[in-house]
Amino acid sequence: MGHSRFLPMRLKWLGAALLAFAVAAPASAQTVTIQFGRPQAYGFSNNYPWFNDVSQYQGDQTFQYFLAYHPDISRALALNPGLLYNAAWRSDNPALEQYLDSHPYEWQALNNANWSTGPAETQWGYDDSQHQWRDAYWWHQNDPNWFYDNHQDWSSLDSRWLVQDGAYDPQHQWHYGEWWYNQNPSWVTTNHPMWLSQHQNWSNQSEQQSFRQQHAMVALNPQQRVANQRQANVQRQANVQSLQRQQQVNQRQASVQRNVRQQNQRQDQRQANVQQQHNSRMKNQSAQQTAHQQARPQAQAARQQARPQAQAARQQARPQAQPVRQQARPQARAARQRARPQHQAARQQARPQQQARQQSRGAQKPEVVAHAGPNKR
């Protein structure tokens, strides 16, 4: 299949990374799964485009290390990697925002060379020369030549791979960058210098000879190549459909999460409004009580100040009222004396009438018959 071209030198970082983890990992860090010397982020392929080969630890850690020690964030991003590029979602995860703020170069890489919104894991893969299964992300990272020669359909995992790794010829046939370099190295140097900076081994004579031999073997069996291409087309279509279904699921999940977040925000806002109204009422009541307490001494002082003035006014008015009463007293006495004969005459005139009424009442009373007692037989 051509996968024997896998370069063992790319595994050199494994031993160094494993040793670095054993020495530099902090003693207080929580336990995480380690695969090939790298911390395993929950739900992600260990070769996902977000992750690089350099193992780093607390204070200067890779994004893969961060996700390995924040499984809740890793789990959410594994379901929908596109959430990483959603500012609203990031704001709901302060630990993530703090990490990105303190690792600006990592965030820059995630938005450029390491950008990806493809599935976090994939079932696509094949055994390497040591008969160890590797997923498509690993093959793209470690042996892109074999990747594109045998499974170009795997490039649907990341929409940027075809654009970054190769170009179309005039017949509208896509070719990997190393093919272009063997056809026209000056064109690659002029138009795609980044390819050469990432794959300096392309200029080696041994690498060029190996590349030509491999592609000559592929050219000797065109029927198999056509069959592989046909199978790749079928697989690509199935992959596209699978990705579309997964995207729909992710969108539904994101919609549900967004609705839940909005409901929580509305509920929090209502509670905040109720609390604010309660606080406002309590503040008004406290202000009124304070005002009453402050006004009470002033009112008492005002009453105390007014009391001597009222007493003085009464004392001043008392001498003035006495002569008036003294002057009115003889007049009242003379008026009673003048009215007394009239009252006496009126009583004398009314006396015969009273006597007559009394006599008439006495005549109307029934006679009382005295009995000797009950009859005896």
Residue 273 above 60 pLDDT?
A: yes
239: nearest Cα among 176, 174, 163, 155? 155
3-class DSSP state of 135? strand
> What pLDDT score was predicted for residue 229?
60
The structure tokens 């299949």 sit at 1
Residue 8 in contact with residue 16, Cβ under 8 Å? Answer: no
pLDDT 10s digits, 122-143: 889 988 888 888 999 999 988 8
Q: How would residue 78 be classed by pLDDT, with cut points 50, 70 and 90? A: very high
Which tops the pLDDT comparison, 76 or 307? 76
Which tops the pLDDT comparison, 116 or 24? 116
Residue 22 above 50 pLDDT?
A: no
> What pLDDT score was predicted for residue 216?
66
Query: Which of the listed ranges 41-55, 243-257, 293-307 does the model predict with the highest average pLDDT?
Result: 293-307
Distance CA 375, CA 238 (A): 142
Residue 193 above 50 pLDDT?
A: yes
Count of CA atoms in the C-beta half-sphere (13 A) of 11:
10
Residue 90 in contact with residue 97, Cβ under 8 Å? Answer: yes
Q: How would residue 86 be classed by pLDDT, with cut points 50, 70 and 90? A: very high
47: nearest Cα among 114, 108, 105, 111? 114
Tokens coding 7 = 């370069």
> What pLDDT score was predicted for residue 217?
55
At 57, give phi and psi (nearest 5°). -130, -170
| pTM for the predicted model, two decimal places | 0.48
Helices 222-363, 205-219: axis angle to 10 degrees equals: 90
Residue 44 above 90 pLDDT?
A: yes
> What pLDDT score was predicted for residue 90?
94
> What pLDDT score was predicted for residue 310?
83
